[in-house]
Amino acid sequence: MNTIFWAGDSTVQTNNYATYPQTGIGQVFSLFLREGYQVENHAKNGRSTKSFLDEGRLAVIEQRLGEGDFLFIQFGHNDEKSEDPSRYTDPFSSFMENLEIYINTARKKGAFPVLITPVERRCFVDEEHLGPGAHGDYVEGMKRTAQKCQVPLVDLYSASRRALEKAGEEGSRKWYMFFPAGSYEEHMEESTDNTHLRYEGAVKYASFIAEGLRNLGGIYREMLFEEPQAEAL
């Protein structure tokens, strides 16, 4: 059994009933995997590349990683928090340096690292257009690291921005924790959260990661189920 280990934040983490209907991308990614592959999701709410390391979470992954496994590395949201020194990283220095630690950890164990840029927030400036958001420098820092270290990268950031602008401000609410009071018995209060995902959003964005892996080909394509061909008319 090949295992995909996932290091990331709340947009990726596996949620329980206490946070329903919030759903993480890593929580649903097994929907796209063929037999013989599984996800071990170590993503945790509020973590950055720095705090994930400092808390020993990468060390736990390292103990479990084996040859032929994969390490998906997806950060950015919390690395941006300049007001919090326990999480903040500079996009073109400490962020990139931390990413290299994750990459080298995977390679030491004979595993395959994959960098995944952060999913965009609902940062609409009008009904159809997004503002610049806060991820840009971290996306660029991740891309530079991928090029320097010759690591495959899936650009979820760009794919999610395209999808958001296509859906529009109102149409994209269903992907996020953005809903009126009374929508869920388990979450009766109104939520205007533009960062965290509901099930439909998690599946949507997981499908973009699957598409990116499919485009990489080789061992990355092999982990995915083959899309059924349309029946001839």
Name the residues annotated as catalytic: 10, 189, 196
Report the alpha-carbon distance of residue 159 to residue 52 in Å, rounded: 25
Exposure string for 213-232, b = 16+ CB within 10 A, e = fewer: bbeeeeebeebbeeeeeeee
CA distance 195 to 22: 10
Backbone angles phi, psi at 8, to 5 degrees: -175, -160
- Determine how β-strand 176-179 pairs with β-strand 112-116: unpaired
Dihedrals φ, ψ of 214, to 5°? -60, -40
Burial (CB < 10 A; 0-12, 13-18, 19+), residue 149, is middle
Tokens of 152: 């495959």
Distance CA 117, CA 107 (A): 20
What values do phi and psi take at 100, rounded to 5?
-65, -35
Burial class (CB in 10 A: 0-12, 13-18, 19+), 146: buried
**The two structure tokens encoding residue 189:** 């209060």
Three-class SS state of 83: coil
